[in-house]
Amino acid sequence: MCFATALVEVLISWKFRHDTGNITDNPTPLYISLPWIIVGTVCLLYYLKLRFGSRVTTKYGDSAWEIEERKKLEAEAKVEKPSSAKAEGTSSKKKNKKD
């Protein structure tokens, strides 16, 4: 593997040596540089948003927003249980009356 890497490096160096007429000596045009700059900037901003945003995730699920979401879901579940219990109680009474 090391030999193959060294061989490739030698071949690339031989191909792009000085005064061989390749275009590496010319400045890169803006229409080539600009898309790379834009993509790099977008990737960096997206990484920063994921890393430092308000909904930052963690490996074990202990982030602040996940704890808040869990509390909201638990509160909603507590609120729904009495209403569903009432509905079940009334439906069971109706079933008993029909029997």
Q: Is residue 51 domain-shared with residue 71, that is, in the same domain?
A: no
Assess contact for 56 and 65: CB atoms under 8 A: yes
- Note the pLDDT of residue 32: 86
**Domain count for the chain:** 2
Residue 4 lies in a domain: no
Structural domain including 79 reads: 65-99
Q: Is residue 70 domain-shared with residue 49, that is, in the same domain?
A: no
What pTM value is reported for the model? 0.42
Per-residue pLDDT band at 78 (split at 50, 70, 90): confident
Residue 42 lies in a domain: yes
The pLDDT > 90 percentage for the chain reads 21
Question: In this predicted model, what pLDDT tens digit does every residue of 14-37 receive, in sequence order?
Answer: 877 777 666 666 788 899 889 999
Question: In this predicted model, what pLDDT tens digit does every residue of 49-69 receive, in sequence order?
Answer: 888 887 766 666 666 777 888
Tokens of 86: 């009432």
- Calculate the CA dihedral of residues 5, 40, 43, 59 and round it to 10 degrees: 40
Q: Is residue 98 domain-shared with residue 70, that is, in the same domain?
A: yes
The count of other CB atoms within 10 Å of the CB of residue 63 is: 15
Q: Is residue 70 domain-shared with residue 53, that is, in the same domain?
A: no
Which position has the token pair 């995730």?
57
